[in-house]
Amino acid sequence: MTTSTTTPHSQDQFGFAVAARLDAASMDLPHDITERLRAARTRAVAARLTTQSRLQTSQQVTVQGGVGMLHFGDEGLNLWSRLAALLPLIALIAGLALIQNILDDNRASELAEVDSAMLSDDLPPTAYADPGFLQFLKTPLTTERQE
């Protein structure tokens, strides 16, 4: 299976060749047929020009901050598709808020555990603020209690 690729330039050349051949053969045609052919050519050229102008107006190149961007006009984004585009952002913000809430709860439970251990201990809370007591806690016990 062979496929041939044509470029726009070769298509234009083929079109010009066909047009030249049709022009040469149109000399022998009656007047009413030549008028219909002229009208058809005029419509074809007008259709080609409107297609090209539509392509040119729908594509815009903008440069922002040294970066060129190609815009294709209205992409057909209605309200629902714009909201759907915002959905990942909303999910990200909700996830970050949930993570922050969980971390706050964990920190609060750790502090409550330390507070309850301090309050249920035999030592007063001021003992924990004493630097000598902190040094005492850091030193290992050398003598164990024997019974």
Higher pLDDT, 58 or 12: 12
Instruction: Give the separation between CA 138 and CA 67, rounded to whole angstroms.
Output: 60
Where do we find the tokens 């309200």? Answer: 79
Structure tokens belonging to residue 43: 């419509």
Instruction: Name the residue type at position 117.
Output: A
Listed residue (125, 105, 100, 103) closest to 114, CA to CA:
125
Count Cβ atoms below 10 Å from residue 37 Cβ, excluding itself: 14
Instruction: Name the residue type at position 28.
Output: D
- Give the model confidence (pLDDT) of 50-103 as tens digits: 877 665 555 555 666 666 665 555 556 678 888 888 999 999 999 999 999 999
How distant, in Å, are the alpha carbons of 81, 84, 94, 97 from that of 91? 16, 11, 5, 10
What's the pLDDT score for residue 30? 84
**pLDDT over 90, % of the chain:** 16
Write down the pTM of the prediction: 0.35
The three-state secondary structure class of 71 is: strand
Instruction: Give the separation between CA 78 and CA 63, rounded to whole angstroms.
Output: 26
**pLDDT over 70, % of the chain:** 73
What's the pLDDT score for residue 75? 58
